[in-house]
Amino acid sequence: MGKGYKKSVRFINQNIGPEKRQDFLDEIDYKGTYLPKSIFYEDIDKSFLEKFKNIKLPFITVVRQPDIQVGTNQAGNWNIPGNKLYTYMKVPNREGGRNGVDMYKIPQPTSVDITYDVRLFCNRMKDLNLFNRTTQLTFQSRQFYIKVNGHPMPIHLEAIGDESQKDDFDRRRFYVQTFEMKVLGYILNEEDFEFVPTINRAIVFTEIFDKEIKPKIVIRSLKDVDEISLKIVIKPEHYTNEFIINCGYKILITSIKYISNVTNANIAINGVQQTIPFTVEANEQLVLTVDRNESLEATLELKGLVK
């Protein structure tokens, strides 16, 4: 056996123990940002090649096929057109003694399939069997994951072939086994990300949020009929469209009036949409969905008869 001959092939280059814990710390501290990192083709190549560090006989070569295909890691689904940005994370921020939130938005990644041809060169069947067995065990669950700039991506073993040279007895016999592997990845560019600071971090959430809207109710007696008026005032910067009104009477709602800053209002009882006129029983809840400019105060009024 020649000097420096490797007795085994380390197919998966993975640290354990203290080195693995340091890997986690390095990954958390990478670039120090809340946003995901960019992914380009060269990043996927680098992460794939890191799994095959072996330069002595037996040795491994990795060749990437140049025809990168449309990705299949989204189960055949396509991206939403228009390169729309979506909220990725909301990060608490404290500025000038006031609590606030910063919003980070990113586009949908673009899916790509990248195929690599991995070849093992050796001159002993024992080495070939060892590498093949390790490969089969690695992909026994269909896929094996690599991390590209912190993004996990699966690798599929597509095919196993043979290019061994065994017929020429005058030359040194060696075995070449090929493994076709496909990375189901995606690419992402940090330059497309968007940081959206909150406009006002003072007291946006203090007055209305988590509180039930209580309408002002005025009851006027008209002989033997009671007329009821439910006036709803929605304060500015109340960022919700639904409001609940608990009714203490059986009421026939006869009309709705948009007084200010209301473009449309829908009314539901027990999840069923209502059209005027309609009756609401005592102790039932009216759910109002109001379309309006949230930065301004809005007022509307329901009128009816107490039954």
pLDDT at 57: 55
pLDDT at 127: 85
**Fold (CATH) for 18-73+105-190:** STM4215-like (3.30.2000)
Question: Which class is domain 216-306?
Answer: mainly beta
SS3 127: helix
Q: Is 237 exposed, middle or buried (0-12, 13-18, 19+ CB in 10 A)?
A: middle
Burial code (b: 16+ CB inside 10 Å, e: under 16) for 276-291 equals: eebebeeeeebbbebe
Residue type for position 179: F
How many Å from the N-terminal Cα to the C-terminal Cα in the chain? 102
Residue 28 has which token pair? Answer: 């958390």
Residue 175 has which token pair? Answer: 């075995």
Dihedral over alpha carbons 249, 250, 254, 256 (to 10 degrees) = 40
Task: Please state, in angstroms and rounded to a whole number, the distance separating the CA atoms of residues 213 and 290.
Answer: 13
Domain boundaries, the chain: 18-73+105-190, 216-306
Which CA distances in Å does 24 have to 16, 21, 69, 242, 291?
11, 5, 32, 44, 47
pLDDT at 38: 83
Domains 18-73+105-190 and 216-306 share a fold: no
pLDDT at 256: 87
pLDDT at 198: 59
Q: Which stretches within the chain are classed as H helix?
A: 18-29, 41-49, 125-138
Q: Tell me the mean pLDDT per 10 residues along the chain, length 307.
A: 50 60 59 71 84 66 91 81 82 69 85 92 85 88 86 91 72 82 91 72 38 48 60 77 76 86 86 86 83 84 80
Instruction: Tell which residue, 148, 162, 118, 156, has the closest CA to residue 9.
Output: 118
